[in-house]
Chains A and B, each alone.
Chain A
Amino acid sequence: KEKHKILHRLLQNSTSPVDL
């Protein structure tokens, strides 16, 4: 899970372009 932190986050919430 740690290896794909951002993908997990994107899947679980909508992330705005600014957060990326």
Chain B
Amino acid sequence: PESADLRTLAKHLYESYVKYFPLTKAKARAILSGKTGDSAPFVIHDMKSLTEGEQFINCKQMPLPDQRPEMGLGFGMGQESADEVELRFFHRCQFRSAEGVREVTEFAKSIPGFVGLDLNDQVTLLKYGVIEVLIIMMAPLMNKDGTLISYGQIFMTREFLKSLRKPFCEMMEPKFEFSVKFNMLELDDCDMALFLAVIILSGDRPGLLNVKPIEDLQETVLHALELQLKMNHPDSLQLFAKVLQKMTDLRQLVTDHVHLIQLLKKTEIDLCLHPLLQEIMKDLY
């Protein structure tokens, strides 16, 4: 009966994962391997294709993060500098990240027992967990050559991201290095759903008021993840341990990411950080 409960929990978390995250690993891998019936994603590999990619997305009514009329949309203007295009791209990434935070919050609320926790602890778990979750969610969208963005409609090359000016060029490379290794574990969407819940329910986040109920919840999800990995990957030795080890790498990735954002805030005059992301990153590490 106990393992039946753990299977029910796995199924529940998988269902909410599919409900709240629009681009699953299964869909992303199908796009990356050209196995969808739809057309291939638009490829961004230089500044010109970046501007064209923006046009492609605007045609599909994606809201712009900054709609000041004097900024224009950059079409056919010619005089717009690469700096401006890069900054606008960064703003779009922030807008998407804020939307990602909303998705992760809804997923967290669907974890049995989460909304029963002290509200301040729910905030702390999200504040510390959400960037880790967003980085894990990026992995299925990436391969060694680039990443899907805009819900899989666009593929942006790793070389292009490396060619941006400092420190933008340093933002994604560590995530590619992590993702290429993480993808070798070959987790599927159900494995991912359980792993994300384990990350969110970390009882060692700074400032938690009531650790015990969080640890109890995490323990149950850990059992469900262990069982899931044994059943789904019977030939993959020590997979459970390997997956858990990734949590250490994740914390370092987040620390480095937050430091880069803080550096950006100092060096880029025109940079405005999304209020939700500001809230999360303030006094984080």
Contact = CB atoms under 8 A, between A and B. Distances in A.
Given A3-B282, A20-B276, A10 B101 contact: yes
Interface of B: 63, 98-99, 101-102, 105-106, 109, 115, 119-120, 122-123, 126-127, 274-276, 279-280, 282
Given A11-B109, A14-B106, A17-B99, A6 B119 contact: no
Contact of B279 (A3, A11, A12, A17): A3
A7 B102 contact: no
Contacts of B274: 20
Contacts of B101: 10
Interface string A1-20: 10111111011101101101
A11 B123 contact: yes
Contacts of A10: 101-102, 105, 126
Pairs A-B, 4 closest by C-beta atoms: A10-B105, A6-B276, A4-B123, A7-B123
Dominant SS at the B interface?
Answer: helix
B126 A7 contact: yes
Interface of A: 1, 3-8, 10-12, 14-15, 17-18, 20
A7 B280 CA distance: 8
A15 to B, nearest CB: 6
B102 A17 contact: yes
Contacts of A17: 63, 99, 102
A1 B120 CA distance: 8
B127 A4 contact: yes
